[in-house]
């Protein structure tokens, strides 16, 4: 069973940056397309950025040019570098497979963008 642990969230002012990390319990990033998702209060979970095993990357329009997804396969870790943060980026951020069936969801990491 895959276990995912997200970290790196926090409170940041608009225009600031954060780097999120997602660590998996095994070498899963090598074999599966994976992604970052986020869920804001009262909204559905949405796809933020995805990366395939061939390193093809896609971003949601709302984060294109501001966020960068990457992974370190030997460390079983995926990252999300978030720059030029906006209040509307406030959400709990999760990592998981890019496509169903999803692994069990982790606890996520809270990102709050506020002055």
Nearest to 71 by CA among 18, 111, 34: 34
Q: Which phi and psi (to 5°) does residue 87 adopt?
A: -55, -35
pLDDT of residue 70: 97
Q: In angstroms, rounded to a whole number, what is the distance separating the alpha carbons of residues 39 and 72?
A: 24
Q: Are strands 67-72 and 77-82 parallel, antiparallel or unpaired?
A: antiparallel
> d(Cα 110, Cα 115) in Å, to the nearest integer?
16
pLDDT in tens, the chain (115 residues): 899 999 999 999 999 999 999 999 988 999 999 999 999 999 999 999 999 999 999 999 999 999 999 999 999 999 999 999 999 999 999 999 999 999 999 999 999 999 9
Q: What share of the chain is helix, strand, coil (3-state, %, to 5)?
A: 5, 45, 50
């Amino acid at each position: 069973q895959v276990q995912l642990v997200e970290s790196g969230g926090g409170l940041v002012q608009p225009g600031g940056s954060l780097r999120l990390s997602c660590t998996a319990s095994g070498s899963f990033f090598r074999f599966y397309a994976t992604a970052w998702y986020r869920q804001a209060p009262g909204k559905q979970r949405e796809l933020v950025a995805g990366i395939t095993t061939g390193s093809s990357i896609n971003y949601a329009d709302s984060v294109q040019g501001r966020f960068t997804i990457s992974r370190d396969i030997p460390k079983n870790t995926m990252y999300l570098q978030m720059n030029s943060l906006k209040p509307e980026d406030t959400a709990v951020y999760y990592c998981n497979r890019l496509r169903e069936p999803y692994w069990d969801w982790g606890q996520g990491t809270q990102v709050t963008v506020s002055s």
